[in-house]
Structure 1
Amino acid sequence: MRRESLEWISDEAERRIFQRRTLFALGIIGLVFCAILLRLFVLQMIRGESYLALSERNRIREYRITPPRGLIFDRNGRLLVDNRLGFNLIYNPASRKKRLDDEQLRIISTILGLELDELKDAMKQASIYKPSRIAVDIDYSTVAKLEEAFNIIGRDTGFEIQPTPKRNYRYPQVVPHFLGHMGEVCIAHLKSEPGVYREGDLVGKAGIEKALEKELRGKAGREWVEENAFHQRIRTLRLEPATPGKNVYLTIDLELNLELVKIFGQRAGAAVVMDARTGDILAAHSSPWFDPSIFGRSLSPQVWKQLESDPSHPLLNKVISGLYPPGSVFKPVVALAALKYGVLTPESTVFCPGIYRLGSFEYRCWKRDGHGLLSLHRAIVESCDVYFYRVAEQVGIDRLAEFARACGFGKRTGIG
């Protein structure tokens, strides 16, 4: 049979060459087939589990559920800070099924108050794994206009209106410097607490929002979702609900603070109301004030420049950061120092003629006619300036400074 199949080759040498070439080709085919079998064995038997896990990761996606932030109340349980529903406009190429032309994009950019090129630049930053935020904390009227536009141009364009929790300061004029404000998490924060935050999260940047960040933030939940090859949701496989943040109760009284706001109006200054028995801060107002919610969204350079250049310094917490003469608050310190060093006794008297002279300078008492002869108790009751000028002179500058430092003057308070 073999010889008959080669009868068409007349020359014996040519037949042998053909046989060798045939055997060589069959050998090559055999080696390739063995290589394929070996590769299949490696993929299926040796590395099968790792590839299965990789396939599962591509099919099953994990989403983070942002926890509701804790609420802040005054001493009487009246709500000062809570959460509200906000909206961000994001662009997600994974959900896009059709492209928009420039005219359609211009409709969206006009609603958002953006230039067309600005919108396009923001869209270019997106990928199927990381959508881009086009607009942050858009108001309800803008949401309504966008919804109407999407009804016309279509809802499969990659644009999505994303609900997101935002901080709501119910009384922005009440202790905004102490309540603090929220801002987008920085890279250093992301690195210091990996897994706790993700890019774009809002965290406490100042005041109580920052000091009690760990208590207020809560714990994020997780949701495992099955998706198809186009990253479209099929079903929820597993859900771990988020844990809300803890509520915080302050010592301040809302009504007292509103009264301070009314008294100051637009005048610059600061005031504190303290319970002398407990040390509780009942009210603390720094004027003028600012709305802390502006820091929870994209702050325009114009607004920031206006706040920063304001001569009345609304961003400065004048209660704890302003430098002012202590005034009559320092009189008890003078009295205690005098008692400590034996300069006077509670029964000692000092005469106030209404004026005190130091070198060529004259300092008047608030009562221009003077208080006359005063004991220590009466001097404190009348808040006599001259009495404490004279006593301070007898104590001496060095001893007075030493005693004042012992009382905490000249040291960091640890507040703010």
Structure 2
Amino acid sequence: MKRTQRDTEDSFRGVRRRAFLMGGAMTAFVAVLGARMRYLQVDQAEEFRLLAEENRVNIRLIPPARGQIFDRNGRLIAGNEQNYRVVITREDAGDVEMVLKRLASIVPLPPEDIEKTLKEVERRSPFVPIIVADRLSWEDFSKIAINSPSLPGVTPEVGLSRVYPLDQDFAHVVGYVGPVSERDLERIENPDPVLQLPKFQIGKVGVERWTEAELRGRAGQKRIEVNSVGRVMRELERLEGDPGDDLRLTIDAEAQNFAQARLGDDSAAMVAIDVQTGDLLACVSAPSFDPNLFVRGISQKDYSFLLENDHRPLADKTVQGAYPPGSTFKMVTALAALEAGVITPQTGVYCPGHYEVGSRRFHCWKRSGHGTVSLHSALSESCDVYFYDIAQKVGIDKIAEMGRKLGLGVRHDLPMSAITEGVMPDKAWKQERYKQEWRIGDTINASIGQGYVLTSPLQLAVMTARIASGRAIEPRLVRRIGTQDVPLPDAPPLDIDSQHLASVRRGMYEVMNGAHGTAKSSRIADETMLMAGKTGTAQVRNISAAERASGVVRNEQLPWNRRDHALFVCYAPFDKPRVAVSVVVEHGGGGSAVAAPVARDLLLYCLTGGIPPLTAYPASQRGTIESRFNDMKLRDFGADSTTRSRA
């Protein structure tokens, strides 16, 4: 059928109408699209630029260099060494497990290390780098760097690790560092962000821990550009942090090494202190351990050995050990009685070999007795009965007061771990601690440093320094922080009559130089360095009736851990005191035979600035002394050893 003109015109009008509608719709769509594009590209341009920047730029913390620690003469004790390591960042790595397996095919990576890393990755934020392996060889480090394109999120780094070049000599004083633990974070208020870095190391014990704030420094940061697979393309910006402050200690590294070698395999502690300043010159606990083992990751075998050793190498006996002071405490009892006016230096006490209280006898170490003794002879011969008698007259409260005045029963403020306060008992202390009344027998035991009385080698050294100087000397361990010297602590005169102190010093002089002195065999022969001292033997336990029946009648016949402790305190020169020393040898037996010779050697070392000259010893002992020094395994400090300062 042929279309009419009208039909054709109607058809054209319909097409035009649809075209118009379609064109309008398309125009509206293009307008909306254009508006959206303008919104995204113009109005929101800055926001999307930042998002894009964040996708390709990472900001990472730069751990600060830890401050170094030096001895009093500038010899390095704790430093930093270069450490090659490899880290992985989860947000850049993608499939972390696959990347780690690929890494293990390039360098040795034990399965347990991979598993440990995966657990660490899950615990940490995705942007925090996790250390996979450290202390890599240069060869392994290079392999990782060459293969980095196939290891997304893996970055080889050069960092710093703590090292202790003098290993065992300063293990107890300086301590060591280790990775930050959850427990560490819990005890720190507002922790530094750098502590969140896995395996970031902080001080765990000793000076490393207690001066952590000074040693750590402040972290820096760097902005790095990464590609789509997380590979670092370039470093855009680097802001270095501030390294930690260096520390200089008061201890002389050579004297410390000498003391460590002199104690040898004994379970013992020795402290040398400058009588005028309170500076600790040596502070040694034996046996020791290598702190580098803890920094590098100590094996279970090595750790078990240290824990199970009956000589307790991990314990710092100089400040943590609490021992009955034995007869080294007799100066305290004597000064308390003199100050109370119940005796004079000439007051005589008869010693028949025992002291009776009711139906009980307290024996003197010399069963036959000393006869009538005065203060000087009682100290010189260490007569127990003399001190039993005067202690009953003066009372425990005044004895305790004098002990605290001389630095016993007091926690001295030093940057060392677990410093003991010891025990300086009195009537109130026993009532509070045991809900019991103080007894006469308690006073008798305390008068000779037994019973409840407990002291540390550090406290005994402070006591001796105070008696020698007549001032309230406080021990000091840190000499300088950064560029600032640590001020000497105040040392006001002791509130003790100078004549009473002089009388006690004379008694200590007679211990070493008198005809009947208990330590005369350990005297110093050089007239310019004559020493005063006091021996002590701290009873660990009585020999039982069963043991006596079996033939055990002497201390040395007992098993090692049941023998008495040997103690000795001293200072020199007698007329112008410079150095005081205390020694405790656990289960060593008699103080005069075991502890006194050790203390004399260290005292002479500090006074002379090196291996003591043989002329300082009695002529009959010089051959033995020379052989002992030749057998000692001393560290070679090099030619600059002669430049060190003397106390």
TM category, shorter: 0.7 to 0.9
Report whether the alignment pairs 1:63 with 2:63: no
Is 1:183 aligned to residue 178 of structure 2?
yes
Checking the alignment, whether the CA contact within 8 Å between 1:136 and 1:297 is kept in structure 2 is no
Shift of 1:324: 1.0
- Asked if the contact 2:307/2:314 (under 8 Å) is kept, the reply is yes
Deviation at 1:240, TM superposition (A): 2.5
The letter for the 2-side match of 1:193 is P
1:62, distance to aligned residue in structure 2 (A) = 2.7
SS in structure 2 of the partner of residue 192 of structure 1: coil
Q: Are residues 1:83 and 2:74 paired?
A: no
| 2:70 paired residue number | 73
Q: How does 1:17-416 map to 2 (within 5 A)?
A: 19=17, 23=21, 29-30=26-27, 32-91=29-88, 94=92, 105=104, 108=107, 111-112=108-109, 114-115=110-111, 118-119=113-114, 122=117, 129-138=127-136, 140=137, 144=139, 146=140, 154=147, 156-158=149-151, 161-186=156-181, 187-188=185-186, 192-200=190-198, 201-358=200-357, 359-365=359-365, 371-405=370-404, 407-415=406-414, 416=417
Task: Please say if residues 181 and 205 of structure 1, whose CA atoms lie closer than 8 Å, have aligned partners that are also in contact.
Answer: yes
Conserved 8 A contact 1:174-1:261 = yes
1:221-270 Cα deviation digits (max 9, x unpaired):
33333444444444443333333222211111222221222222222222
Distance 2:397 2:119 in 1: 67
The aligned amino acid for 1:255 is E
What is the CA–CA distance in structure 1 between the aligned matches of 2:237 and 2:58, rounded to whole Å?
11
Q: Any conservation in 1 of the 2:354–2:361 contact (CA below 8 Å)?
A: no
Whole-angstrom CA distance in 2 between matches of 1:226 and 1:118: 29
Equivalent runs, 1:4-19 vs 2, <5 Å: 7=8, 15=14, 19=17
Post-superposition Cα deviations, 1:79-119, rounded to whole Å, max 9, x if no partner, equal: 2111112233434674899x7897984674xx45x23x653
In structure 2, the CA distance between the partners of 1:337 and 1:101, relative to structure 1 (3 Å rule), is: closer
**How has the CA–CA distance of structure 1 residues 76 and 387 changed in structure 2, closer, same or farther, with 3 Å as cutoff?**
farther
The 1-side partners of 2:24 and 2:100 are apart by 58
> Relative contact order, CA 8 A, sep 6+: which one is greater?
1
Q: How far apart are 1:202 and its partner, in Å?
A: 0.8
Once residues 198 and 297 of structure 1 are traced to their aligned partners in structure 2, the CA distance between those partners, rounded to angstroms, is 19
- State the TM-score, normalized to the length of structure 1: 0.79
Amino acid at match of 1:204: G
Deviations 1:310-352 (A, max 9, x none): 3332222222112210223322221222123221123333344
Counterparts in 2 of 1:21 and 1:403: CA distance versus 1, 3 Å: farther
When normalised by structure 2's length, the TM-score is 0.53
Gaps of 5+ in 2: 418-647
The one-letter amino acid paired with 1:90 is V
Letter in 2 for 1:53: L
- Letter of the aligned partner of 2:317 in structure 1? K
Which SS does the other structure have where 2:157 is aligned?
strand
Work out whether residues 86 and 157 of structure 2, in 8 Å CA contact, stay in contact via their aligned partners in 1: yes
Tell me how far apart the structure 2 counterparts of residues 368 and 77 of structure 1 sit (CA, whole Å): 53
**One-letter amino acid of the structure 2 residue matched with residue 243 of structure 1:** D
Moved more, 300-309 or 331-340: 300-309
User: Could you tell me which amino acid in structure 2 is paired with residue 180 of structure 1?
Assistant: G
The 2-side partners of 1:129 and 1:73 are apart by 37
**CA distance in structure 2 between the partners assigned to 1:344 and 1:331 by the alignment:** 14
Matched residue of 1:88: which SS? Answer: strand
| Closer/same/farther in 2, CA of residues 224 and 290 from structure 1, 3 Å limit | same
Aligned residues: 397
Of all paired residues, the percent bearing the same amino acid is: 34
Q: 1:377 to 1:39 in 2, by over 3 A?
A: farther
Displacement after TM superposition at 1:28 (Å): 5.4
